[in-house]
Chain A
Amino acid sequence: MDKLIEILKDLHDDVDFESTEGLIDDGILDSLDIVTLITEIDSEFGVVIPPEEIVPENFNSAQAIMALINRIDED
């Protein structure tokens, strides 16, 4: 989780990602951020997020993103 928070902080250092929800719904992360984030997840976690998983509910909070990473890795 710490690694993910670090990646997210690199995108927006002024956001408290540990407690913020609605990252997509509130427009904190946009499509350009998502692509950079996915590239980082691939590099740091070795997990490739397919396009069909790029939906708001999977990216609305750090916890949701972590759950997505774990789920794809598990599958």
Chain B
Amino acid sequence: MKFISIGFLIFLAAVFLAYYLIPKKYRWIELLAASYVFYCFAGIKYIGFILVTTLSTYFVAKLLEYMSDRADAYVESHRDEMSKDERKEYRSKQKKKRFLLLCIGLVFNFGILAALKYTPLAETAYISGFLSLIGISFYMFQTMGYLIDVYRSKTVAEKNVAKFALFVSFFPQLVQGPISRYGDLAPQLFEGHDFDIHNVSFGIQRIIWGFFKKLVIADRVAVAVVAMKNSPDEFYGLSVLVLIIFYSINIYADFTGGMDIAIGVGETLGIKMTENFKRPFFSKSTKEYWNRWHITMGSWFTDYVFYPLSVCTPMRSVSKKCRELLGNNLGKRIPMYIATVLTWLLTGVWHGSGLNFIVWGLLNGVIILVSEELSPLYKRFHNRFPRLGSSAPYVSFMMFRTFFIMGIIRILDVYRDVGLTFRMWGSVLVSPNPSVLFNGGLLGFSLGTADYMILAVGVILMFAVSVIRERSGKDIRELLENKTVLCSFIFTALIAVTVIFGAYGNGYDANQFIYNQF
């Protein structure tokens, strides 16, 4: 089932009514049923995929916990007889066994993901139909995060397989996340929430805002993005800068719009899901940007890839060798360099197997490392000009710079051809072709002047909401909460604008979200 459909709104209303009508202790069962219904709308024939991941992870996690408890009990009961070294050796042996089991669970499930996403299977109508509706990598990453947490004894393995199935399949996050942690999400899913008008109205407002961003902004500007991508011979030079801005607006409105719908649905049910964005275009550095954009993916890779890679035995050996060869100062930083590049390489591969995704990932890693290495230089510069760093023009410059750096590498995702993308970047300097900005060329596709005006108003609105949040630290819904008339007017107007000016019909594809494909 697609979020952007009348069917989804009807489904949502039914889930909502049923949730608050049935007794509290059974509400999680209703959520489980609703999630499987939502999943099965993609096709009941695909149910095996989620069931296999759910059951395999459930049993591996239980076994991991059993082995860990048994090892702890053994050490406790033999504490007096064992020396410190013997205890360490025993624990290390047991840990190796558990690690092997964890690897089996991870390889099996990521193997399914890899087979579906990166082999010729992905091209078949059977699998592509599934992947276009369900974001398999999102629920897979969430589930594997749980498995690693159980291995690390950070989470207690869920006893009830049906409850665990709900954690894996909770329907608002099946399309494009957020990738929640078991400890944050599961207790909320299993607890029956009281009807709270505040949560319900905030949730509905957020869903409306998500629809507005997706239909009025993202899908409208997407028309221009696709047209420019398809005609690189016509739209080169300075129009590549326009494409960078358009695609940034497109992907931001699309992805955050989808998140607003997912998180808003959770709110109406009293479930607070993890925020995935914190106004990323206000970031002053690439590192800050990645703490604000797709936060749940970034923290997943940090906790489950970057840190383990940095401290693994081979990396420690590399570190020791590097210290001997390169000296302490540089040698101690080598694990950080290697782990950063490898983590970003894997982040790129997560997005897709194409070379463009790999180059995109590596460029992110390199930019982060270069800015990290230049930080002493920045510090000296700011010590020399202490008032500059906090001045509005300089802060704006840093935000603008970060926006463009991220936007420039992001268009690798638009062209999906590394050579072409590099040529298009080069064309900005080599053959700027400024006339395309003024000769009406940008109006050549099915976006007219009125569309651009709607787009401009939509972007200004989206920007204003972000500025208010950034400056006041408060959600605009909180600021409007006691202004009932104004609030009702704004959200009624948003619904009307979305219905009237939503980009659907011929030439538009309001069907799915960009991030769903990853």
Contact = CB atoms under 8 A, between A and B. Distances in A.
Nearest to B316: A42
B311 A38 contact: yes
Interface string A33-49: 01110111011000011
B335 A35 contact: yes
Interface in B315-358: 316, 319-320, 323, 332-333, 335-336, 339-340
A31 B306 contact: yes
B332 A40 contact: yes
Contact of A35 (B287, B306, B379): B306
Contacts of B323: 43
Contacts of A55: 154
Give the interface residue-count category, chain B.
Answer: 20 to 34
In the A-B complex, list the 3 residue pairs whose CB atoms are closest, starting with the nearest.
Answer: A52-B152, A35-B310, A35-B336
A32 B316 contact: no
B274 interface: no
A48 to B, nearest CB: 7
A32 B152 contact: no
Contacts of A36: 332-333, 335-336
Interface residues of A, number: 21
Given A31-B302, A32-B336, A35-B307, A42 B153 contact: no
Q: Of A14, A30, A52, which is in contact with the most chain B CB atoms at under 10 Å from its CB?
A: A52
A50 B336 contact: no
B372 interface: yes
A51 B88 contact: no
Contact of A30 (B152, B287, B316, B335): B287
B441 interface: no
A2 interface: no
27 contacts: A30-B287, A32-B287, A32-B340, A32-B368, A32-B372, A34-B307, A35-B310, A35-B335, A36-B336, A38-B310, A38-B311, A39-B332, A39-B333, A40-B332, A42-B311, A42-B316, A48-B316, A49-B311, A50-B311, A51-B152, A51-B311, A52-B152, A54-B303, A54-B311, A74-B84, A75-B88, A75-B91
Nearest to B84: A74
Contacts of B311: 35, 38, 42, 48-51, 54
